[in-house]
């Protein structure tokens, strides 16, 4: 006689069954946090793109905080969270949401063990990499890179125009003397 085919393909041992229970519980908790982060990012994007009304700076801060928490807990990969924050900030900066905001970012609580010379080297290296990135940004290789350069260039031009307009409207004080 032929044997009956097994229908259950899942866990069999007590340890494996416990792992299944744990993963289901963890999935429910992680899904809640992931969903909250997505919702906050979507709300901030809608404000930045003009689809919704609200306090843009507060929405962006809440979205970034949610992404940081999710990355810290291991729910999102840190690079995934960084990528989402970068995209959000590009839209927020293009929409000038953060220009008038006075939100202060708390300093990290980790103590730095680097010496002053090491910190200076880090600063010099970051400046050099930013300079190299600035030169490379003039020659983007992808459509996304070209779009990012266009957004940055447009935001710089509008900021410069605002600055010029503000300088033109402020009355000059008469010179004494």
In a domain, 72, yes or no: yes
Shared domain for 85 and 43, answered yes or no, is yes
> Sign (positive/negative) of CA torsion 110, 116, 120, 125?
negative
Shared domain for 63 and 126, answered yes or no, is no
**Domain of residue 49, CATH code:** 1.20.58.110
pLDDT of 124: 84
Tens digit of each residue's pLDDT (9 = 90 or more) over 112-135:
555 778 878 888 888 887 777 766
Q: What is the DSSP letter of 74?
A: T
Shared domain for 94 and 20, answered yes or no, is yes
Shared domain for 93 and 141, answered yes or no, is no
pLDDT of 2: 67
Helices 78-94 and 143-169: crossing angle, nearest 10°?
A: 40
Domain that holds residue 63: 15-100
In a domain, 106, yes or no: no
Shared domain for 38 and 86, answered yes or no, is yes
In the chain, the number of structural domains is 2
Q: The whole model's pTM is what? A: 0.52
In a domain, 68, yes or no: yes
Shared domain for 24 and 87, answered yes or no, is yes
CB 84 within 8 A of CB 71: no
Low-confidence ranges of the chain (pLDDT < 50): none
pLDDT of 101: 62
């Amino acid at each position: 006689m032929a044997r009956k085919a097994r229908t259950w393909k899942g866990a069999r041992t007590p340890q494996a069954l416990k792992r299944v229970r744990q993963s289901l519980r963890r999935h429910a908790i992680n899904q809640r946090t992931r969903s909250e982060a997505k919702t906050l990012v979507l709300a901030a994007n809608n404000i930045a793109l003009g689809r919704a009304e609200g306090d843009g700076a507060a929405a962006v801060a809440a979205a970034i905080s949610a992404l940081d928490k999710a990355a810290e807990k291991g729910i999102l990969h840190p690079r995934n969270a960084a990528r989402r924050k970068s995209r959000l900030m590009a839209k927020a900066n293009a929409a000038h949401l953060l220009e008038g905001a006075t939100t202060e970012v708390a300093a990290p609580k980790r103590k730095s063990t680097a010496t002053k010379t090491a910190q200076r080297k880090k600063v010099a290296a970051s400046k050099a990499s930013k300079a190299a990135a600035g030169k490379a940004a003039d020659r983007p290789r992808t459509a996304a890179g070209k779009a990012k350069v266009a957004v940055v260039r447009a935001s710089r031009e509008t900021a410069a125009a605002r600055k010029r307009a503000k300088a033109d409207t402020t009355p000059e004080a008469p010179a004494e003397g």
